[in-house]
């Protein structure tokens, strides 16, 4: 009887170790995928910051204002007094 209990205990322990190892592998895979996604998002963030700083330059603003928005300086500037 004791031998049967020991055998059941060893089998249960083995199954528990296998389940733990499988869970560890799946968690490691999820961590790796999350780190890859983080790297992609950081690269995109850096690219967007660079793009924003490029568009915020005065020369770019002036080109967009004159070409795309058809804006121009007025020929005569008048002061408006409230």
Q: What is the pLDDT of residues 26-73, one digit of tens each?
A: 999 999 999 999 999 999 999 999 988 887 777 778 888 888 888 888
DSSP H helical ranges for 56-70:
58-63
Residue 34 covered by a domain: yes
State residue 52's pLDDT score: 86
Per the structure block, which two tokens stand in for 47?
């690219």
**Ranges assigned E (strand) in 1-82:** none
Mean pLDDT within 8-14: 93
Say if 70 falls within a structural domain.
no
50 within domain boundaries: yes
**Residue 28 resides in a domain:** yes
Q: How many helices (H) and strands (E) does the chain have?
A: 2, 0
Better-scored residue on pLDDT, 43 or 2: 43
pTM tops 0.75 = no
The whole domain housing 36 covers: 16-65
In a domain, 1, yes or no: no
Look at residue 62 in the predicted model and tell me its pLDDT: 83
Please state, in angstroms and rounded to a whole number, the distance separating the CA atoms of residues 70 and 27.
Answer: 56
The domain total for the chain is 1
* Tokens read off for 82: 């409230």
Residue 4 covered by a domain: no
Q: What is the pLDDT of residue 2?
A: 86
Is residue 74, in this structure, part of any structural domain at all?
A: no
In a domain, 21, yes or no: yes
């Amino acid at each position: 009887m004791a031998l049967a209990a020991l055998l059941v205990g060893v089998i249960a322990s083995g199954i528990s170790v296998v389940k733990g190892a499988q869970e560890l592998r799946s968690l490691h895979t999820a961590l790796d995928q999350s780190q890859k996604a983080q790297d992609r998002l950081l690269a995109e963030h850096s690219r967007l910051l660079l793009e924003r700083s490029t568009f915020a330059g005065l020369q770019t603003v002036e080109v967009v204002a004159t070409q795309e928005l058809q804006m121009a300086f007025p020929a005569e500037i008048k002061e408006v007094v409230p």
